[in-house]
């Protein structure tokens, strides 16, 4: 089996981390992705400047984790907590290095998450971010951090609510434009399991000529790389229609171009909110 061309190589997988259990799940998914793509794994831990600033206010209070009683926010205690979290994350990344035979490191920054993430990542990176923020996964609404990062035209962003499925499950790609669809297809081939590369190509509803053209372009790209894929025509591009296709196809991830009509405006947020497995948005 040949390897897809190097133009879409993932240079680094950067995962936004905090102390939550969901963040650890994201770290495992990011490590597996780094191993599959031969990329470097970077954990980015941002110490929230707003939290530290709030702790210095005389009226600030926090709820004791064991006593349940309100107590003054202590900046020194928060500093110690952040250092302990960074040490724990460093230990987890060292474990990923051994487990997946990858290069991994932790970067610690202080400030606002979006600002620090945008200052650190660059084109060629794939950034992994929580759908609603790792600490609030009970809500399905798309969080502000994910919205900001998706809006950056040069970035490839994986938005997670839960980890991907088993390796035998297909990576699904929305192929609804000749050029943008090929970029999405290339990324899907790269993040799919490197041995099986199981893919499902989702085509939009269109007139017969357009549909035939898209199908032939996708099949030609796949054939040139000795890759096979199931091709499925969607009944529509509404969020729930696409999400249902991912669910019924047992998809482990959905890859879609940022320029796809399915991601336009609030429809894009609804799509990402509706899809359970990770959604990868490519430039």
pTM of the model: 0.84
Sketch the domain layout of the chain as residue ranges.
9-160, 171-278
Confidence of residue 4 (pLDDT cuts 50, 70, 90): very low
pLDDT one-digit tens code per residue, 226-256: 998 999 999 999 999 999 999 999 999 999 9
Beta strand segments in 122-275, E:
125-130, 156-160, 171-174, 199-203, 229-233, 253-257
Give the CATH superfamily of 171-278. Answer: HUPs (3.40.50.620)
Confidence of residue 170 (pLDDT cuts 50, 70, 90): very high
Domain 9-160 annotated CATH 1.10.10.10: no
Confidence of residue 132 (pLDDT cuts 50, 70, 90): confident
- Cα–Cα distance between 177 and 188 in angstroms, integer? 15
pLDDT for 6 equals 39
Average pLDDT over residues 181-191: 93
Domain 9-160 and domain 171-278, same fold? Reply is: yes
Confidence of residue 45 (pLDDT cuts 50, 70, 90): very high
pLDDT for 196 equals 62
What residues have CB less than 8 Å from 154, skipping those under 6 apart?
123, 283
């Amino acid at each position: 089996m040949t390897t897809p061309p190097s133009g879409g190589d993932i240079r680094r997988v950067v995962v936004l981390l905090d102390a939550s259990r969901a963040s650890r799940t994201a770290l495992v998914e990011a490590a597996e992705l780094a191993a599959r793509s031969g990329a470097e794994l970077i954990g980015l831990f941002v110490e929230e400047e707003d939290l530290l600033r709030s702790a210095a206010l005389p009226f600030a209070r926090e709820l004791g984790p064991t006593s349940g009683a309100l107590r003054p926010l202590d900046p020194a205690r928060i500093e110690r907590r952040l250092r302990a979290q960074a040490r724990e994350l460093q230990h987890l990344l060292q474990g990923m290095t051994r487990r997946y035979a990858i290069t991994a490191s932790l970067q610690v920054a202080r400030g606002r998450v979006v600002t620090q993430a945008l200052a650190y990542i660059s084109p060629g990176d794939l950034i992994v971010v929580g759908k609603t923020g790792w600490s609030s996964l009970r809500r399905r609404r798309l969080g502000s951090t994910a919205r900001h990062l998706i809006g950056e035209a040069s970035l490839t962003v994986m938005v997670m609510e839960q980890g991907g499925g088993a390796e035998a499950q297909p990576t699904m790609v929305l192929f609804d434009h000749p050029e943008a669809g090929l970029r999405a297809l290339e990324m899907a081939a790269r993040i799919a399991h490197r041995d099986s590369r199981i893919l499902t190509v989702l085509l939009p509803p269109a007139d017969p000529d357009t549909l035939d053209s898209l199908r032939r372009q996708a099949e030609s790209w796949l054939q040139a790389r000795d890759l096979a894929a199931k091709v499925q025509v969607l009944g529509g591009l509404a969020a729930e229609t696409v999400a249902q296709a991912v669910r019924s196809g047992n998809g482990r991830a959905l890859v879609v171009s940022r320029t796809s009509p399915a991601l336009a405006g609030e429809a894009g947020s609804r799509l990402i909110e509706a899809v359970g497995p990770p959604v990868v948005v490519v430039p």
